[in-house]
Amino acid sequence: MTGRLLNDDALHASAVVANNAMNRERQLAGVNSYTRELGFNPLDWLTVRMRSKGQDTVSMGWLDLCCGTGRALLQAAEHLAAAGLSDRATLVGVDLVDTFDPIPRSGPVPQLVCASVTDWQPPRRFDLITCVHGLHYVGDKLGLLVRAATWLTDTGMFVADLDLTSIRLAGGQPAGPRLTTALRRAGFPYDARRHRVTRTGPRHVDLPYRYLGADDRAGPNYTGQPAIHSIYDIID
Ligand SMILES: C[S@@+](CC[C@H](N)C(=O)[O-])C[C@H]1O[C@@H](n2cnc3c(N)ncnc32)[C@H](O)[C@@H]1O
């Protein structure tokens, strides 16, 4: 075994994860934004589907994992209110650190929850689940993918930034193409160029990997920021 293995408590206290200099302020659209990182505007994505489903459908849900300040959700809530669509959407953000932007005194608000995504339980299923540059700091990344897959509505979409080289085996080597194949077979195509994992629709998924712990001394990843390695055993 190379490197060190931190459990979640130690990881959450690590300077790499509890890092004040992290970019937690992405907006919904514009230069430093979800639209730019994801390649689509989550609000537009939701409203197109709302309108195509007609007036009487139950509300659509957007869950943002590792939401940072929650700014993108707060801005989406404002736009929905202005369009008279507030009662058609449920917006939820979860972050380990309570650095949420102030919630407006009036109008619809997203639910911003201070918790670790590794043990948080959702109140409902979601049409859209995003995780923008959050997985880089989560210990059991594959466990989160497996759980989030069960939180999607039938046509729901999950999209997350993921650096697959940060998923390592106990010997220290990247899990490599075998993991990419396992993810694809489980319905999580991985775009290596964009460092992005996606899936559509819910499913109980098994990935043949057992989480051992995290190493917070991995150094910078492709974003240029220090990130962590997540260490796994292969289950044969
Ligand atoms: C680089 S920031 C991105 C924040 C936001 N998505 C954005 O783009 O503005 C990564 C976020 O992941 C959060 N985070 C790290 N580990 C987490 C965990 N286990 N559960 C919930 N949030 C976590 C951090 O607190 C931080 O706010």
Q: CATH number of the domain at 149, please.
A: 3.40.50
Tell whether 187 is covered by a domain: yes
Sign of CA dihedral 28, 19, 172, 66: negative
Tell whether 43 is covered by a domain: yes
Q: Is 106's pLDDT higher than 70?
A: no
Q: Is 36's pLDDT higher than 80?
A: yes
Structural domains counted in the chain: 1
- The pLDDT of residue 20 is 84
SS3 229: strand
Q: State whether the beta carbon of 228 lies less than 6 angstroms from ligand 1.
A: no
Token pair, residue 215, equals 């190493």
Q: Which domain holds residue 59?
A: 2-98+108-234
Tell whether 103 is covered by a domain: no
Could you read off the pLDDT of 123-163 as tens digits, one per residue? 999 999 999 999 999 999 999 999 999 999 999 999 999 99
* Helix locations, 24-167, DSSP H: 34-38, 42-52, 71-82, 141-149
Percent of the chain with pLDDT over 90: 84
Tell whether 12 is covered by a domain: yes
Q: State whether the beta carbon of 16 lies less than 6 angstroms from ligand 1.
A: no
Q: State whether the beta carbon of 25 lies less than 6 angstroms from ligand 1.
A: yes
Could you read off the pLDDT of 60-90 as tens digits, one per residue? 999 999 999 999 999 999 999 998 888 889 9
- The pLDDT of residue 55 is 54
Q: State whether the beta carbon of 112 lies less than 6 angstroms from ligand 1.
A: no
Ligand 1 pocket mutation, candidates 37, 137, 166, criterion most atoms within 8 A of CB: 137
Percent of the chain with pLDDT over 70: 95
Q: Whose CA is nearest to atom 10 of ligand 1?
A: 134
Q: Is 4's pLDDT higher than 90?
A: no
Tell whether 56 is covered by a domain: yes
Q: How far is the CA of 201 from the centre of ligand 1 (A)?
A: 24
